[in-house]
Every structure is written in C-alpha cells, then in structure tokens.
Structure 1
Amino acid sequence: MDLDTLLEKINRLEYHQSILLMMISKSDDQFYKLIVEKSLSRKDVERFLAMCEELTIALEEQQAEGFVYFESLYRNLKDSLHPNLDAKEVIEACLRQKLYLPLMLELKKFVK
C-alpha cells in the first residue's frame, strides 16, 4: 500500500470517527464517546477499568469498616487518570452510562 492510499484511509477514518461521535452524542454511551474523543488506546481503557475494579473493592471494604468519607479514592482516581482525561468528565460520563455506579456516585461528591 502506498503512502497516498494510506493517508486517504486515515482521512476517511477520521471523518467516519467524527460522524460516529455525532451519532453517539445523542446516546447515554458517554464514556465510550470520551474514549474516542480523547483518543485512548485499548490498553488505556483496560487500565482505567482495572483501576475502577480496584477502587470498587476498596470502596466496599471501607464501607464495611464504617467509613463514610472516600476522598482518598477520588484522589487515587484523579491521580491515576490518563493525561487526556479530567476526573469530572470521566465521573459524569460513567454515571450517564451507568458504569461503576456505587463508586462514581461516591466520587462525584468530591468533584469541584
């Protein structure tokens, strides 16, 4: 495949991506939209999901111990996010898409 053909395919993919973003902007799949908007890789997303699993377990453990204040979990999320992501937009997107609801509902309390 020559360079011109490759560039044409990349341009077409970018155009199709912009159309897909417009299509999903009307849906509740806001986290998926964020992935595309911020150009995250599969590895970035897998890392984020694994982190959410760990934070969910930590939340459940802390709740079982009687904790009611979870700012440390929020800081952990915020500090571990991909540089292209903002904690507030991630939490809001996850809430709209109903991902990790108990965790995100608690973390939302610390969004400024």
Structure 2
Amino acid sequence: MDQYVELQSRVNLLEYHQKLLLKMLASPNLEFYRLVIENGISEQKVEAFDQLCENLNKKMEEQKAEGFINFHPLFSEFLYLLPEKLDTKKVVQACIKQHLHEALFREFNKYL
C-alpha cells in the first residue's frame, strides 16, 4: 500500500511539472516554474509558497501605510518559511522576472 501511495504522489508531481512545462513552452521567461521543476517542488508546496507571498505582500502594504520603510523582518520571515530546496537569491530573481508578487520581491532583492 505504501508503494502505491508513493507511486501516486510521484505521478502527481510529474503531471504538475508537465503542466508547468507546457506553460513554459508558450512563455519561456517563467523562471520560477523552472526552479520548481529543477528542484522537484510539489504543487502543494508551490501553493503554500504563493500563500506565504500573498500574506507577506499584505503585511508589507500595511506596514507601508503605517510609514515603515524597512522590511527586513518580512524578508527574515520569508527566509524561514522558504522551502529548503530553493535558493533565496534565485527565487527572488525568478519571481521578479516572472512578475510574481513583484513589489514584494523587488523589496526583498534589496536584502540579498
């Protein structure tokens, strides 16, 4: 039974990566998707990453409204919650190129 569950999760991962590859064929500048595939990141982890970025982006906007100009604590939170397989610098640059949460990652780029 364990082998079946493991096999099913591997098939799901391959199907997810195949979807990303098809998107990359249409638009080769999808650098974040390339990192996801290269590092074998699952769809669930990518969804969790996206949720993390949405939360951090919201916090950043709230802090900007309050007059904050330093967002290093948000960057530290990002580092702590980033999947360990992913390189921070590559993720930040890839997200900027792919226009994912661009304002957030442009800010994080200052801390690299």
1:34, 1:73 → 2: CA distance?
22
Structure 1 residue ranges without an equivalent (≥5): 1-5
- C-alpha contact 1:94 1:100 (8 A) present in aligned 2: yes
Q: Does 1:110 align with 2:111?
A: yes
Quick one: which amino acid aligns to residue 75 of structure 1?
Answer: S
Equivalent position of 2:100 in the other structure: 99
Task: Indicate conservation of the 8 Å contact 1:91/1:108, yes or no.
Answer: yes
Structure 1 residue ranges, 4+ long, deviating more than 2 angstroms after superposition: none
In structure 2, the gaps of 5 or more residues are 1-6
- 1:11-90 equivalence runs, <5 A: 27-90=28-91
What do the CA deviations read for 1:3-44 (whole angstroms, capped 9, x no partner)? xxx9xxx9xx7xxx7xx5xx76x9210001010001000111
Whichever residue aligns with residue 66 of structure 1, its letter is G
The Cα offsets for residues 56-104 of structure 1, whole Å up to 9 and x where unpaired, read as 0000000000000100111111110111011111000000101101101
Identity of aligned residues (%): 40
Max radius of gyration: which structure? 1
Q: Which amino acid aligns with 2:52?
A: M
State the TM-score, normalizing by the size of structure 1. Answer: 0.76
Contact residue 31 and residue 94 of structure 1 kept, 8 A: yes
Distance of 2:64 and 2:86 partners within structure 1: 27
Report the Cα distance in structure 1 between the residues aligned to 2:52 and 2:45, rounded to whole angstroms.
11
Helix, strand or coil at the partner of 1:74: helix
